[in-house]
């Protein structure tokens, strides 16, 4: 039987949940996943879930570009392997000028603006739904097989009023902040100047603050939110090394096409455990 896909195209409690209903299918033999590819029909709302199925957070979002079916296959394989629940939140396409023009963000680069608006809409969804904690993943990630156990240990080190957690980042200087302690073989620091947003968590309080901070953004999303982190307005923490990385192999960036691709190595890559090759 084909797997159902939950794809949300609008932020907030009125987001629609879709289930694939077409008879046309595509099969990914590497991860034994079958994906329907054409029409979708409305199937209702998502029931309340146990936090074990959301890696210790109340909700997990995956920012997904509709045309990147290759990435969707991989994320569905991860979801199935970890036995968790992802909400596939449709990213704004850089050519969707109607949606992009609804927001007053001043970006010359349409890729950066589309990314900015996509994350902004997810933050809005978090606030509208009242999720106390959410994990946000971009659809090109790889992560540690033992991520759930690691997250539980990270929570032990953090104050209850944390507002952001960078489980993945791309800045080698994040160990300059206050040292919070060790979680398994990882270290947790107070964030100093994090970059990249392929794998981070945000609390309800953090989402509300970020929405206020992002109203008049002119920088790329990850750089725009550095300001309130540096000022201490956002209580943010960074995991070192990253437990969530960008899967760069055969996977060109949609935000910075042609840009340099680099990443940290994982201890136990879930992508490689699923049979995807790092080459």
Q: pLDDT by residue (tens digit) across 16-44?
A: 333 333 333 333 333 343 433 322 222 33
CATH number of the domain bearing residue 27: 3.90.550
Give the pLDDT mean for 178-204: 96
Query: What band does 96 get if pLDDT is binned at 50, 70 and 90?
Result: confident
Secondary structure element (H or E) that encloses residue 42, with its range? strand 40-42
d(CA 215, CA 209): 11
- State the pLDDT confidence band at 134, using cuts at 50, 70 and 90: very high
Largest CA distance in the chain: 54
Is residue 276's pLDDT more than 80?
yes
Q: Which of 54, 74, 50, 52 lies closest to 64, judged by CA?
A: 74
Domain assignment present for residue 69? The answer is: yes
Residue 279 inside a domain? The answer is: no
Domain that holds residue 200: 7-273
pTM to 2 decimals? 0.80
Instruction: Identify the band that residue 98 occupies on the pLDDT scale cut at 50, 70 and 90.
Output: confident
Domain assignment present for 166: yes
278 falls within a domain:
no
Tell me the pLDDT tens digit for each residue of 241-274.
999 999 866 544 444 444 444 456 899 999 999 9
For residue range 193-245, what is the model confidence (pLDDT) as tens digits? 999 999 999 999 999 999 998 887 788 999 999 999 999 999 999 999 999 99
Give CA 4 to chain center in angstroms: 20
Residue 114, domain member (yes or no): yes
Please check whether residue 136 lies inside any domain of the structure: yes
- What is the total residue count of the chain? 279
232's torsion region: left (phi>0), alpha (psi -120 to 50) or beta? left
What is the domain count for the chain?
1
Nearest to 146 by CA among 240, 71, 81: 81
Higher-pLDDT residue of 218 and 49 is: 218
Residue 30 has φ and ψ, to the nearest 5°, of -65, -35
CA separation for the pair 124, 27 (Å, rounded): 34
């Amino acid at each position: 039987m084909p797997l159902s896909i939950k794809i949300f195209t609008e932020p907030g409690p009125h987001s629609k949940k879709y289930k694939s209903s077409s008879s046309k299918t595509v099969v990914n033999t590497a991860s034994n996943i079958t994906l329907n590819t054409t029409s979708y029909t409305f199937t209702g709302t998502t029931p309340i879930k146990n936090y074990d199925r959301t890696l210790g957070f109340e909700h997990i979002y995956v920012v997904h570009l509709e045309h990147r079916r290759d990435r969707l296959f991989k994320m569905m394989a991860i979801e199935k392997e970890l036995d968790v629940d992802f909400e596939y939140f449709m990213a704004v396409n850089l050519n969707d000028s109607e949606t992009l023009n609804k927001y007053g963000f001043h970006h010359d680069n349409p890729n950066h603006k589309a990314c900015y608006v996509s994350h902004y809409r997810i933050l809005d969804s978090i606030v509208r739904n009242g999720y106390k904690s959410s994990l946000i993943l971009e659809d090109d990630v790889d992560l540690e097989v033992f991520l759930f156990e690691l997250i539980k240990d990270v929570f032990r080190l953090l104050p209850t009023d944390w507002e952001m957690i960078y489980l993945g980042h791309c800045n080698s200087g994040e160990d300059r902040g206050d040292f919070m302690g060790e979680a398994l073989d990882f270290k947790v620091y107070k964030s100093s100047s994090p970059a990249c947003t392929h794998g981070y968590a945000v609390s309800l309080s953090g989402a509300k603050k970020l929405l206020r901070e992002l109203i008049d953004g002119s920088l790329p999303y990850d750089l725009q939110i550095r300001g309130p982190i540096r000022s201490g307005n956002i209580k943010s923490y960074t995991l070192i090394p990253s437990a969530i990385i960008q899967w760069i192999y055969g996977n060109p960036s949609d935000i910075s096409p042609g840009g340099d691709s680099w990443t940290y190595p994982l201890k136990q890559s879930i992508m490689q455990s699923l049979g995807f090759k790092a080459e």
